[in-house]
Amino acid sequence: MSVSEQQLAIIAEQIGREPKGLVGVTVATATGVPLVLQMRSLVDNVPFPTLYWLSSKELCKAIGRIEGKGWVKEIESRLQEDAELKDAFLQNQKAYVARRWELMLPQDKQRIEELGFTQMFERYGIGGISQWDKVRCLHMQYAHHLADGNVIGALMDQEFALNERDYSL
């Protein structure tokens, strides 16, 4: 998973600094603009809270507006009321944890074990949350959705048409 010099420059513009712990660009537009970055699980011996990081400024702003409308509480309420949705979300959490271990660099796995973080990496799901029936951050949910598929992200596409927009930054 390579990152071009042009993509590195775009990422620095998107997030306002050089990325720390970047593994690669997981999802990009057809023109190569990064949307989702894969991050290392351990950066400077500190756990990084997410495997997938949403880097697109425009997408982050759109999701921020959705969060501002109280959609996190609404979707958490739906998770409590809809057993099928809750089960699908639980499966997303489990798949995320497994995928993070699968993609983790061997030296990071070893260091995580040495630092005593193994149980934490098994317990914390999307966005670093331990309560798997809660939604910590829609940005991280959507990044996971774009990278690997996620029911919360799919609902965001259905309800807010995020997948139908053109993202230049």
* Per-residue pLDDT tens listing for the chain (169 residues): 679 999 999 999 999 999 999 999 999 999 999 999 999 999 999 998 899 999 999 999 999 999 999 999 999 999 999 999 999 999 999 999 999 999 999 999 999 999 999 999 999 999 889 999 899 899 999 999 999 999 999 999 999 999 998 888 7
CA angle 57–58–64, rounded 5-degree value: 85
- Total structural domains within the chain: 1
Q: Which residues contact 127 (CB under 8 A, 6 or more apart)?
A: 49, 50, 136, 137, 140, 141
Residue 57 falls inside a structural domain: yes
For 34, the enclosing helix (H) or strand (E) is strand 34-39
**Does some domain include residue 117?**
yes
Which domain, by its residues, includes 149? 5-164
Helix %, strand %, coil % of the chain (to 5):
55, 10, 30
pLDDT in tens, 130-140: 999 899 899 99
Domain assignment of residue 169, yes or no: no
Residues 69-102: tens digit of each pLDDT: 999 999 999 999 999 999 999 999 999 999 999 9
Q: Kindly state whether residue 59 falls inside one of the protein's structural domains.
A: yes
Q: Is residue 139 part of a domain?
A: yes
pTM of this structure: 0.93
Domain-embedded: residue 31: yes
Look at residue 51 and tell me if it is in a domain.
yes
